Chains A and B, each alone.
Chain A
Amino acid sequence: MAEQQNIQYTPKDFKSDQEVRWCPGCGDHAVLNSIQKALTELGIPKEKFAFISGIGCSSRFPYYMDTYGFHGIHGRAAAIATGVKIANPGLSVWEITGDGDALAIGGNHFIHAIRRNIDINIILFNNEIYGLTKGQYSPTSEKGIVTKTSPFGSIEEPFSVGDLVIGAKGKFFARTIDANVSLSTQIYVEAAKHKGTSVVEVLQNCVIFNDGVHEVVTGKEVRDDRTIILKHGKPMSFGKNNDKGLVLDGLKLKVVNLGENGITEKNLLVHDAEESNPGIQYMLAHMGYPDYPVALGVIRSVKAHTYESDLEEQIMEIQKNTKVKCMDDLLMSGSVWKVE
C-alpha cells in the first residue's frame, strides 16, 4: 500500500462528475458514500487509488469515483486487480464486485486471489440476487427462493461468503450492512490497512428485485438483537440492552443471556481476529438467524506475506546475484559461438 502522507481530503474529492445511476433507494449509494469517506482517512494520495470492477450493478462503481478506474468484464475483476497490484504494488487497489460476479462466474478468480494473498480490497455487495439482468437467483440466494429462473423455488444450496474466504486460506474477512455508514467506513479503513487480500461482505439491499432480503436481521427494530458487532479483544456481547453474549459450549457457539445462571461478561468469548487458526472465526462468520446473531465487523485479520511483495523480494534477490543485467548480457550468455 502507498505511503501514509499528510493529505487532507473530503469525500467530495473522490466524487467523479458522473451522474450516479443506481435505482433510488439502492443500498449501493450508501456503500459509495462510506468508501469515499473511508478514503479520506487513509492519507493516501488520490492518484494512488485504483478501483477495478466486473459486471453487475455494483460494478458501475468505478465510474463514480474520481480515481483511476477499470470497469472490466463479468467475473474477472479479481484477475484484473491482481495484475494491477503485481505491476504496481504502490497502488491501493480496490475490487468492487457482487455475489454473482465474484461467486458464480468469477468464483475461480475470487478464491485464487485470496489464496495468493494479493494485497487488494475486495468489497463484495451481497444482495442475493442478479439485479442487472432483472431478478434471477444468485449463488448466495436462499434455497427455495422464487425468482424468474427458479419459478418453483431454487433447489440450490447457497454459498456463504465467509466460508469461502476462510476455505481459500483468507487472512481478512469482515461483514457490514450497506446502510450502516459509520461501521462500514471503519471496516473499509481496516480492510485498506490490512496487507493482503481483504474481503468485506456488504449485506446490500436490492430495492427492486430482492427488497428487504436482509431486513430480518438488519431491520431497525431487530438489528441490535440479531446482529453482533465483533471487536478485536472485546467480549462478544450484543443485544438492544447489551444483555446477550456468545460462549463456547462444547464444540459449538451458544447464545447466552447475561445475568442468567450467573453468567457475566467474564464468561463470554473474547474476540480474537488475529488468531491464525480460523476455527472460532469460521463459526462466527457462519452464524445466521434465527439460531445466532449475524456477525458484523472484522471477523478475521491475520498478518501474512503478500504475493506481490514476495515476488519483488525474489526478483531483488536474483538480481543481486546474477551476471545477466540486461538483454545484451542475456543474448551473449550460455552456449554461444563466434564466426569471425
Chain B
Amino acid sequence: MAKNSQVIEREEVVIRFSGDSGDGMQLTGILFSDTAALFGNDLSTFPDYPAEIRAPQGTVGGVSGFQVHLGHSEINTPGDYADVLVAMNPAAVKANAKWVKPGGTIIYDKDNFTEKNIEKAGYKSDPIAEEKLELYNIIAAPVSSMVKEALKDFGLDPKSVLRTKNMFALGMVYWLFNRKLKYTEQYFEKKFAKKPEMIEANKVTLRAGYYYAETIEALNPVILIEPAQIAKGTYRNICGNAATAWGLAAAAENAGLKLFIGSYPITPATGVLEELAARKDLGVKSFQAEDEIAGICTALGASFAGYLAVTSTSGPGLALKSEAIGLAVMTELPLVIINVQRGGPSTGLPTKTEQSDLMQALFGRNGECPVVVIAASTPSDCFDYAYEAARIALEHMTPVLLLTDGYLANGTEPWKVPLMKDLPQIKPPFADKKEIPFLPYKRDCETLARSWAIPGTPGLEHRIGGLEKTLKGTVSYIPENHEMMVKFRADKVAKVADRIPDMKVWGEESGDLLLVGWGGTRGYLMTAVRELQAEGYKVSLANFNYINPMPKNVGEIFRKFKKILVAELNMGQFAGYLRMKYQEFSYAQLNKVQGHPFTISEIKEKCIKLLEEK
C-alpha cells in the first residue's frame, strides 16, 4: 500500500457502494448523499439493485449498488464511471470492475474475500489480479474483523455486529472526502431510538472506519472545491417517487380538492403509494387495492365523486389498467395515471430502468382512445410534472398519463423547494349549480372539456358510463353521433397544446445536430451535449416532456438543424412517433435496452459519428 498524504482537489467525484443485497448498501449510499447535500454539493444518485430481496449471498446476481455523483457545480447524472468503488465482497468487484475509472480507488472487505466467496463470484484466486486492477489504488481493509474488534464489549450477537460493517465502510469514505459524521449519527439516534445499544454500536463502527482510513493513510484525501454559488432558497434531497407524490398533493391543495390514490404495489412504482399513504396529515385517502384494475377503478370512482384521483403503477400494471383508462376517456373524468417504467415486456427487469412503455401509454387501448401523455425528466421535476398532470387532468377533464422511470423513481438530487403560492392556479370546470337540467357532455367551447357535476349536488343528477352517449348523456348508437364524439374527444386532447409551454432548445437554436430525447434521459443527454459544445461541435438538445399533445413549435425547431438524432432507452418508439407526427424530417436513432441509463461517452460517440458522416 502506497502511503500518500497529498491532498487532491476535485470538482466532482463518483462513488459507488456495492455489496450483497443484505449488506445495507442502499442505506449507506443514502446517508452519504444526504451528508453531501447538507454540505451544499449538487449531486445525483442511482440505486441499482436486484429484484430478489435477498438473492443468493455472494453471487453476482445478488449485488446491490448505489452510485453517488457529487460536485461543486451542476450535476445532471449519477456519472458513468466511479472514482471510488466500495466492494463488500468479491461479487461486487465482479459486477463493478468495468465501471471503475482507470486508476481509481477500490476499497474492499478483505475478510469477505474467502476462497468460497471468490469462487461464488466466478473467480479462481485473486479477483484484483484477474480483473487486472493491480495498478488501481487498492485498499484491502479487514472490515469484518475490525468491526468485531470494535464491538467486542457490546454483548451483541454476531449477526448484529456484522450488520454494522456498512457503517465502517461509510466511515472510511467520510474520511476520504472530509465529511462530518454528525448527520449520520443523528440518523442512528432517530432510527434506533428504541435500541440505544445499536445507536452506540453504529457510532463506534462509523468512527472506527473513519479513524482506520486516517491511520492507514492509504488514501489520498479528496477535498471537493467549495460548492459554487447556487440559487438562494431552501433545499432538500428528494427522489422521483416522493416528488411525484408531493406534486399530486400540491395540485390537490391548489385546486381546493382532496386527493385519492388507488394503487397496487409494484416495483418500482410502490414508493408513490407508500408516500401518499403516509400523507394522512394532509388528508390524503390512500387505498391499497386488491389488484391493478381495482386501483384505477377506485380512483375513477373517487374522481366521479369529486376528488383529484390518481393511480400509480409500472408497465405490467398499466397493461391491466387499459380498459379502465378507456372508461376514463369515455366518461371524461379527470384522472392521473403514473407509470414508473421498468424493463419489459412482461415481468421483464422489474428493478431496472427503460423507456419502453411509450407506445403502450399513447396507444395501448381499444378504440380511438386518446389520453394526454407527459414525462418527467429528473427526480425533482417529477414534482412539477405530477403537478402539471393533475392540472391538465382537472382543467381539461381527461385522463393524463405521467411517465417516469425506475431511474427517476429511485434516483435523488437536491431540490430547491417551491412555495405553494408560486405554483400555477388550477381551476376545474365545475358544473353551474343553476344550469338544470345538467347536460353531462356539454362542452366548454375553448377547451372542449365537459363540466364536472359532483354527486351530492341537488339538481345535477346525471348518468355517465362506457357506452357512447349524446350530449344529454343518453346512450346512443347513432353512427354520426359516435363519429362526432370520437372527434370531440380527440380534439379536446389536442387542444391541451394551447395551454402548455413552447418547447425550448438547450443550446443554440440552429446547428449541425439536434439531439432529441424525452423524459428521464435528459441529464445524460445534457451532459453529453455540454461536453460536445465545449469541444466545438454545433449540437443542441431538445428534450420532450409533453408527448401528447406535443408543443406547437416542434416543427419550427426541427427545421433549423441539419440532422436529428433521437436517443431513447428502447428500440425507437419516440423516433417512430415523430416519424408519424413530423414526416418531413429524417431521424437517426440511438437506442439502448440494457436496463441501464446511457453513458455520456456512448451518446457523444454516436453524435460525433453522425456529425462526421457526409
Q: Which residues of A are in contact with B by a Cβ distance under 8 Å? A: 16, 18, 45-48, 50, 52-53, 55, 62-63, 65-73, 76, 79-88, 90-91, 108-109, 112, 311, 314-315, 318-319, 322, 324-328, 330-332, 334-340
A87 contacts B305, C-beta separation under 8 Å: yes
Q: A80 with B300: in contact, given A311-B285, A327-B249 (CB under 8 Å)?
A: yes
A62 contacts B465, C-beta separation under 8 Å: yes
Q: A315 with B301: in contact, given A63-B463, A76-B293, A338-B235 (CB under 8 Å)?
A: no
Interface presence of B418 (CB below 8 A): yes
B420 contacts A326, C-beta separation under 8 Å: yes
Contacts of A338 in B (CB 8 A): 233-235
What size tier do the contact residues of chain B reach?
35 or more
Query: Which of A67, A108, A331 makes the CB contact (< 8 A) with B294?
Result: A108
A109 contacts B285, C-beta separation under 8 Å: no
Interface presence of B34 (CB below 8 A): yes
Q: Which of B389-412 contact A (CB under 8 A)?
A: none
- Most B CB contacts (10 A, CB to CB) among A79, A82, A336 go to A79
B456 contacts A336, C-beta separation under 8 Å: no
A76 contacts B417, C-beta separation under 8 Å: no
Dominant secondary structure of chain A at its interface with chain B:
mixed
Contacts of A66 in B (CB 8 A): 461
B305 contacts A88, C-beta separation under 8 Å: yes
A71 contacts B297, C-beta separation under 8 Å: no
Q: A332 with B417: in contact, given A73-B327, A83-B299, A337-B38 (CB under 8 Å)?
A: yes
Bound state CA distance, A3 and B125, in angstroms? Answer: 78
B309 contacts A83, C-beta separation under 8 Å: yes
Nearest residue, chain A, Cβ from B463: A69
Contacts of B459 in A (CB 8 A): 47
Q: A83 with B235: in contact, given A63-B463, A328-B420, A339-B230 (CB under 8 Å)?
A: no
B306 contacts A83, C-beta separation under 8 Å: no
A324 contacts B307, C-beta separation under 8 Å: no
The distance from the CB of B438 to the nearest CB of chain A, in whole angstroms, is 10
Bound state CA distance, A91 and B235, in angstroms? Answer: 43
Contacts of A315 in B (CB 8 A): 280, 283, 285
Interface presence of B55 (CB below 8 A): no
Q: Which of B303-343 contact A (CB under 8 A)?
A: 303-307, 309, 323-324, 326-327, 331
Contacts of A69 in B (CB 8 A): 461-465
- Most A CB contacts (10 A, CB to CB) among B298, B299, B327 go to B298
Nearest residue, chain A, Cβ from B258: A87
Pairs of residues from A and B, 7 with the lowest C-beta to C-beta distance, nearest first: A83-B301, A71-B465, A79-B297, A83-B298, A69-B463, A87-B305, A322-B281
B235 contacts A86, C-beta separation under 8 Å: no
Contacts of A314 in B (CB 8 A): 280
Contacts of B461 in A (CB 8 A): 46-47, 66-69
Query: Which of B183, B253, B465 makes the CB contact (< 8 A) with A70?
Result: B465
Interface presence of B576 (CB below 8 A): no
Interface presence of B445 (CB below 8 A): no
B464 contacts A339, C-beta separation under 8 Å: no
Bound state CA distance, A127 and B408, in angstroms? Answer: 51
B304 contacts A47, C-beta separation under 8 Å: no
Q: A88 with B456: in contact, given A327-B253, A339-B232 (CB under 8 Å)?
A: yes
Contact flags B449-467 to A (C-beta < 8 A → 1, else 0):
0000001111111111111
Contact flags B580-604 to A (C-beta < 8 A → 1, else 0):
0000000000000000000000000
A71 contacts B467, C-beta separation under 8 Å: yes
Nearest residue, chain A, Cβ from B327: A73
Bound state CA distance, A153 and B38, in angstroms? Answer: 72
The distance from the CB of B194 to the nearest CB of chain A, in whole angstroms, is 19
Interface presence of B494 (CB below 8 A): no
Q: A86 with B290: in contact, given A68-B455, A70-B301 (CB under 8 Å)?
A: no
Bound state CA distance, A70 and B326, in angstroms? Answer: 14
Query: Which of A73, A86, A332 makes the CB contact (< 8 A) with B324?
Result: A73
18 example contacts (A-B, Cβ-Cβ < 8 A) are as follows: A16-B463, A47-B457, A50-B304, A53-B465, A71-B465, A79-B301, A82-B294, A82-B301, A83-B302, A83-B305, A109-B290, A112-B290, A319-B283, A330-B281, A332-B234, A335-B34, A335-B236, A339-B233
- Most A CB contacts (10 A, CB to CB) among B285, B294, B419 go to B294
Q: A76 with B294: in contact, given A319-B281, A336-B236, A337-B40 (CB under 8 Å)?
A: yes
B285 contacts A87, C-beta separation under 8 Å: yes
Given contacts A69-B464, A91-B455, 20 further A-B pairs with CB under 8 A are A63-B475, A65-B463, A68-B455, A69-B462, A70-B304, A70-B463, A70-B464, A73-B323, A82-B294, A82-B297, A108-B290, A112-B290, A322-B281, A324-B281, A325-B281, A326-B253, A331-B234, A332-B234, A335-B34, A335-B237
